[in-house]
Amino acid sequence: MTRIATALGRQLARPCGLGGRVVADAMRLVNRRPTRLAIAALDPRPGDAVLDLGCGAGDAIPALQGVVGAGCVTGLDHSDAMIAIASRRCPDAHFCVGRFDALPFADHSFDRILATNVAYFWHDSRAVLAELRRVTRPHGRVVLYVTEAAALARIGLDRSGTHRLFTAATFGQMLGPAARISVVDAGFGVRGLIGTIDG
């Protein structure tokens, strides 16, 4: 089980090849409800500049474009393979490959930032959060979603060496006192956590 969990964890962390495409298809189904909930918490508005951080195959991009406009959404991921898929699926969005702790954007570039299922892989969460603050405009909003630790532990990701797992308490500690943490029904009997940071 540990070997399978490690292989799964590696593909979730940095999808590539056939395994990456299979994982992307599976995550599209599993993440449909969490993505919808996270976008509702993000509350994007027409004309907002939105960053989908860790956009993967671009599953959230069409919903974001439907609200803010096609040219206002940027997707960033550290997987070349996922950006290639997302670019084909959503040709009107902007995409780039980059690091979460060194974002290739000017200060105050975005009104809204969405980050679903990526905080598990932040080796230096302080650096990533500092970058998110830097590129968010005054009065902007950052929304992060993670699946609660217990659900990921059930499939062995607590032993994979790839994922940092979160309870509501540890998620709140990472995000800091300005964050609001909500526990949500992510579907399939799984609980998720949404962290919202304003300003």
3-state class percentages of the chain: helix first, strand second, coil last, to nearest 5: 45, 25, 30
Which of the residue ranges 66-70, 95-99, 135-139, 140-144 would you say has the lowest mean pLDDT? 66-70
d(CA 114, CA 10): 22
pLDDT digits over 95-114, tens only? 999 999 999 999 999 999 99
Q: What is the mean pLDDT of residues 131-142?
A: 98
| For helices 17-30 and 80-89, angle between their N-to-C axes, nearest 10 degrees | 60
Q: What is the phi-psi region of residue 78: left when phi exceeds 0, alpha when psi lies from -120 to 50, beta otherwise?
A: alpha
pLDDT digits over 7-63, tens only? 655 656 666 676 666 666 666 677 899 999 999 999 999 999 999 999 999 999 999
The architecture that CATH gives domain 2-198 is 3-Layer(aba) Sandwich (3.40)
d(CA 20, CA 140): 33
Domains in the chain: boundaries? 2-198
pLDDT digits over 19-32, tens only? 666 666 666 677 89
Q: Answer whether 159's CB lies under 8 Å from 198's CB.
A: no
pTM: 0.87
